[in-house]
Every structure is written in C-alpha cells, then in structure tokens.
Structure 1
C-alpha cells in the first residue's frame, strides 16, 4: 500500500448516511475482484457511495484476468485485498498451500439462477435428468452448489450432462443455438435472456442452496497483521454501505451502481438488484459466521472439491469485522 497525493476529489458523500468530522486522506488500497458483477453490489456501493472515501481510503480496483487470479494477486503482492469465495482458501490449504484469511462478508447466498429453454411452470429438479446444463465457467462454486442441490432432491448429478468450460459469450451463444436445455448464470445475463424470450427462469440457486458465505474479502495473514488499522477502516466503510443498502430501495441501489455498470440498461439493473434483494443475497453486516462456513465446507466435501475438514479459525478472522461494527457511527 502506498500513499496517494490526495483522494479528496475522488470522495463522494455517502448518500446522507455518514459524514466524518475528520478524514485521514490518502491511504490507497489495491483491491482485486474475480469478475465484474452486480452480485458484488456492496463493494460498489462502498466505493461509489463514498463510504470508503469517508474512511480516508482510495480504492484502486482491478478485475482478475482469469479464474483464480485473485489468489495469484494476493500471493504475488500485486493486490492488498481480494474479493472472492471462501472456496479459494479451502482449495489452497487443502492442497498444501498457504492460508488466505477471509475477514468481511459480502454475500450470504448463491447469486446464480437457472434458465430453461422452454417454460416449466411447475419445475422440479428431476427434470434435469438426461438434460444438458451449461454451468457458469468462471468459478467452481456454482457447479458444486448445483450438485449439492440435486443430491438433496434425490437426483444423481452423474445423470446430468454439465458443460463447464465456456466463457460467458460462448455460453450465451450455445444456449441461444439450442445446444443445452438449461443455463446457469447471474444477472444481467439472466434478465436479458428472459426479456428477449430466449430463456425462462425456473429456479433461484440462492434459494435452492440456502445460506452460504458465497463471497467475502480476503488477504494474506501478513497483510492483516501489518495493516490491521487500515483494514478496520475498510471494513467499517463496507459495513456502513451494507447498512445503507438494507434501508435503500432497488432503484436507489441501482443508481449508486451506475458508474460501475454503465453498459447495463438502467431498467435491467434495477430488476437485477431487486431479484437479489428478494432472496437476501447481501449480508446486513460483514461478520462471517461459523454456521455458514460449515455449510459451505459440507458442499465442498460432498462435491469432492476438498478432501478433509479445515478449521474456521484458520481461514476466517471475525475480530476485524466485529471491531469495525463496534466503532461504527452514523
């Protein structure tokens, strides 16, 4: 982390939520996200709503060039913090690698949805038997959650054909061309395909999977120890954004997100935000829970993604978020 000359021009006042008496300007944090998504709305509300600026932080946000790029950026020191799934930390330690510690929750639900090529007003999970499903190719967690849901409903995942290696553009093209019966993806792709009649929404994977800590901020143990005070400020800004979102309408949230998603139609942006709000996708506060950790661990074990159990205390730091909430004002 290096100081910036001035971050004051970058600040936006946080929507009437909080204005500090004093601001320590100029701390720059390099944050990497796995991909650009409305699913990560709390991050963008924290940035564009001014909540992190109010903590004196300037965020240099980048998007990983490939799957797993967030882990690589933390390990090679090109990023200070990363947004991503706990799955990444499970994977790393399960294969004998170093720890990456998660310290601030963002999502508490699977953010993906299942579309069918044809209307299925009384959809049931056995309808996937013998069918082809295009899974989201950017991360393994959606696919692992799908397997868990199928097993929960008595469906053997081995009797479903999954296509897992397509880019978003190729997945959309294949689905439009009728090369699959179902597509699993997130907004705004889901909303656009429903709007033009290509797909029909049959299931929310967030509702089907249940509460799991799908996305959170992570860092190396060394960064957390060295920059603890700065990261508390980061988490406090995120918590303030989460508090604002809990009281805001979908339209208000979508408006704050506009600078990060200018390529998405405003109406679709609002509908996508409302869809996420209705299933309680975004957490109300950033403290990660042991129950959520264990629920995700069961999914990863059941899918064969990890081979043994790992301790909550080794992969999660709850003290940072608890302290940040305890010092939250406004």
Structure 2
C-alpha cells in the first residue's frame, strides 16, 4: 500500500473513532454529584437509603454523596457554610435560621418522616407502663431546642407531667453520647432513636415502654432542605432528587419489612438484620415513613404548636415562606 494511502486511512479511522467516542459520550446521561448531610444515621430514614441502594438517584442521573453530621446544629452549619448541598434534618432548624433574618433562608422541599422517631426506654422492665411512672424520676432527654426534646416535653405535658417540676430533666449531654450515658447508669428513663432502643432491649440495658411518635401525631419531623439560592439555581437537580425520593417512598410503602431491611443493611453493617427488620416494621406500623414528599400545612401547624409549647417558637415562621411543595407536587402529578 502506498505510504500516502496508508496515512490517509489511519487518519480516517482515527477521526472516525474520535467522532464515535464523542457521540457516545453525548448519548450517555451526565451524572451530577449532590452532597447530602443527614442529621444522624438511623433506620428512621430508610427511604433515603433505599433511594441510594435501589438506584433511584442513579436513574435520575444523580450521584449522592452522603455524610452524617451527628446533630441538627452541625447539619445546618454544613449546609449554610457550603459543606453540603442538601440537608436531611428536622424542619424546626429551618425556622431557627429564618428567625435570624438571613438573606438566603433554608427551604423545606421534600418530607421524609411524618412522626417523631424516638421511643421511651425504661431502665427496668415494666409490665404495665403508665406515664405517671415518670413522676419523681430522672429523665435523660435530648438536646434543648431540638425536635426530639420538644416532642418529648409535649408528650409529657399531654400526660399531665411538668418536665421542669415533676422530674429531673437532663438535656446537656451531646446527642451522640446519650445512649452511652444511659448505658453507664445515668437516668431512669431515656428518649432514644432506633436501632439503639431495640439493641438496648435485646441486651437487657433498657426496655421500650412507649412511642413518642404515636403520642405526638403527624409532624414534618425530618425533611430535605436546601438554601433558597441553591434551589433557584438547581431546579432540575431538586426535581430529580424529589422524583427519586418519591420512588423510594413508594417502594418502602409496598414492600415488606424484611425486604426493606435487606435493602438498607449496607448502611447498618454493625446491626443484626433481625433488629433492622424489627425496627422497620415498628416504624411502618406507626406510620413514620411519609409515603410522598409533600409537607402539608396541617403538619407544619402541629410542629409550630409543639415548638410553642416548648417555648422555642420564633416569630414569622410562615409555612409559605419556608416550604416549597412545587417539586413534590409536580413529581406526584406525573
């Protein structure tokens, strides 16, 4: 073959390969990384882990980078400082930020859980529990101003117990250290999330006697939120995120506790699968997992009532200013 022809053919095939590779790259959907900070790692957030493990986020072209902040204040700091794009945390935190007259408020755009996720755990086994048993006891509660603590106080008052007068209330222990504090002997009762509550029960360290979620009714306990500027500049991303979440919520609603436990087990490697299944079943039965991402006004008003009762409700926490259901409603309509 003549040298010029060989050179021409090589050039032709090289150009063809480059063009083909470029076209193939264009055909592939672009993947966008989204940094999500969760307030804690909990089976309470099962739909979120399902959205990742079952590929619902991936299907929408999103690469979710999940980190655990271990506390509402730390989660919000991460979001406000730009360390994360989206936060999964209690809706009350958006109210606190808004009350500081920030120019870029945090907006709730998708609800994940619709009840409190904590349980009342007693140090001793009680065959016939009555809330009156807490009178005169030492109660190891959650962080002051946080949703778990406010719900805890709301439920106590509902049963005629003044948390400031009728018992010794401890709430100065860091969120991550509350379980170990109880295990080491602090308190007669403690307010715990799962799976810690069930693990304590299995190990004989405590016994679940009541559910704060059942007692307090529906509230936007944890929701996905982002700064208003991020939502405005990334509407397609927020829509995709909400759509993936809704698919996961529907999957959780229509599958058994055993199936859900298997799907989320990679996020709880140190927890026995039987405990995960037990916890999921408990949350499903009490209706803790929201079946769609819409955060309705009735739940928001219940949240504010609980905050007001705790003396933690700032002024000007309007539903319309801090909740954007447009992405959730658009997702459901389609």
Return the offset for 1:196.
1.7
Query: How many Å separate the matches in 1 of 2:187 and 2:144?
Result: 18
Query: How many Å separate the matches in 2 of 1:282 and 1:43?
Result: 10
Root-mean-square deviation over aligned CA pairs? 1.8
Change (3 A) 1:318 1:236: same
Q: Deviations over 1:86-129 (max 9, x none)?
A: 11011112243352000000000100000111222332222211
Structure 1, unmatched stretches of 5+, are 1-21
Return the offset for 1:140.
1.5
Query: How many Å separate the matches in 2 of 1:64 and 1:138?
Result: 18
User: Which shifted more, 80-89 or 67-76?
Assistant: 67-76
1:140-155, aligned counterparts within 5 Å?
Answer: 140-155=146-161
Report if aligned partners of 1:23, 1:54 keep a CA contact under 8 Å in 2. no
Return the offset for 1:252.
0.4
Query: How many Å separate the matches in 1 of 2:47 and 2:56?
Result: 10
Return the offset for 1:151.
1.5
Q: Deviations over 1:15-69 (max 9, x none)?
A: xxxxxxx973311111111111111111111111111111111111112265412
Which structure is larger by alpha-carbon Rg, 1 or 2? 2
Q: Deviations over 1:56-83 (max 9, x none)?
A: 1111111226541221222222211111
Other-structure match for 1:46: 51
> How many residue pairs get matched?
306
Report if aligned partners of 1:67, 1:139 keep a CA contact under 8 Å in 2. no
Query: How many Å separate the matches in 1 of 2:119 and 2:147?
Result: 13
Other-structure match for 2:31: 26
Other-structure match for 2:80: 75
Return the offset for 1:174.
3.5
Query: How many Å separate the matches in 2 of 1:65 and 1:110?
Result: 17
Query: How many Å separate the matches in 1 of 2:98 and 2:62?
Result: 31
In the superposition, the TM-score normalised over structure 2's length comes to 0.87
Task: Name the SS for the 1:29 alignment partner.
Answer: strand
1:62 aligns with 2:67: yes
Other-structure match for 1:94: 99
Structure 2, unmatched stretches of 5+, are 1-26
Query: How many Å separate the matches in 2 of 1:199 and 1:218?
Result: 34
User: Which shifted more, 72-81 or 161-170?
Assistant: 161-170
Return the offset for 1:137.
4.2
Query: How many Å separate the matches in 1 of 2:70 and 2:204?
Result: 31
Return the offset for 1:309.
4.7
Task: Name the SS for the 2:283 alignment partner.
Answer: helix
Query: How many Å separate the matches in 2 of 1:210 and 1:231?
Result: 28
Report if aligned partners of 1:138, 1:167 keep a CA contact under 8 Å in 2. no
More helix by share: 2
Query: How many Å separate the matches in 2 of 1:246 and 1:152?
Result: 30
Task: Name the SS for the 1:68 alignment partner.
Answer: helix
Query: How many Å separate the matches in 1 of 2:240 and 2:177?
Result: 40
Other-structure match for 1:6: none
